[in-house]
Amino acid sequence: MSWRLRIFLWLLHRNPEQLPIVDIGEYRRNAERTWKRNRRWIDGRLVKVKGITDTTIPNRHHDPIRIRIYHPTHDMGRTMFYLHGGGWVGRTLDTYDNFCRRVCRHTKTTVYSIEYRKAPETPFPGAIEDGIDVIKYLVDHTGLDQDHLILCGDSAGGNMAISIAYLLQQTIRFQKLLALYPPLSADFDYPSFARYGKGYIIEKEVISWMRNQYLPHKDSYSNVLASPLSHKSLDFLPRTMITIGGRDPLQDHVKAFRDRMVNEGQPLVFYEYDDLPHGFYLLQNLSRSVQNAYTDVYRFIESE
């Protein structure tokens, strides 16, 4: 692990998150303030793209859902739908802005970054519904090339992306799916949660709190849309790339899912980065391993 990343982890965990979190609004505002204050030294300068458009699309309840469109200088005809992380309770398009910029610039892909309603105000499966509604609207109304559609999700967004691919399998066939260190079960009784559940950005107690906001009823825990590891078959998945850090509490979730895909003969590209914690695509400036992980993303998107 790089010395920059070690210092970052030490600074981050000097004052652990105090649970329970009573004021969810203040939790979100503080997370955004902290990110804006530290983004440049953690994640680097904002990458330039040809243009960025912010707009909204109504969901099935007529709520306006924010989207941000990243336009490449030389468009190769690919479209990527992106769902950000944040444990279903926080973060916004702004936190993951540079990830989308990098993908847009380096792969010449138009990226649609999709916001969604958050828990606890909107519990499961509201966020998934928002993603579906936006993607269906864009496919139906904007003339996208349906032979070059890519779905990508970071952390909680990766969980949602798998569920969206499942729910849309009869109407929209994605060419590729990228699931970046996703939670894949509501069950946290795995060794990696004990091994890396403290000191590596996202901690087990906080993950449990996030799950409980998104899934307030335990009878939802086994629902395949909340816990993709519960699927009897994964044959609905397109060609998939899954990434995980070697210091991530979600590591065992991801490896179990990887093994399922391999055993079922599903097309999979899998990367594990031994020295990285959860959320590493936001840490471009802190480790060369993150830069390598970005290269792997670009290569997968550009592959035929």
Give pLDDT tens digits for 240-291. 999 999 999 999 999 999 999 999 999 999 999 999 999 999 999 999 999 9
Question: What does CATH list as the number for 3-302?
Answer: 3.40.50.1820
Q: List beta partners, residue 183.
A: none
The pLDDT assigned to 18 comes to 78
CA 265 to chain centre: 24
* Residue 16: pLDDT over 90: no
* Residue 20: pLDDT over 90: no
pTM: 0.97
Contacts of 277 (CB under 8 A, 6+ apart): 5, 9, 196, 200, 201, 202, 245, 247, 248
Query: At 197, is the secondary structure helix, strand, or coil?
Result: coil
pLDDT digits (tens, 9 = 90+) for 1-15: 999 999 999 999 998
Q: Print burial letters for 240-251: b (CB count within 10 Å at least 16), e (below 16).
A: bbbbbbbbbbbb
Q: At 29, which amino acid appears? A: R
Give the H or E element holding residue 254: helix 251-264
Q: Print burial letters for 205-215: b (CB count within 10 Å at least 16), e (below 16).
A: ebbebbbbbbb
Question: What number is the average pLDDT over the span 91-103?
Answer: 98
Question: What number is the average pLDDT over the span 164-188?
Answer: 97
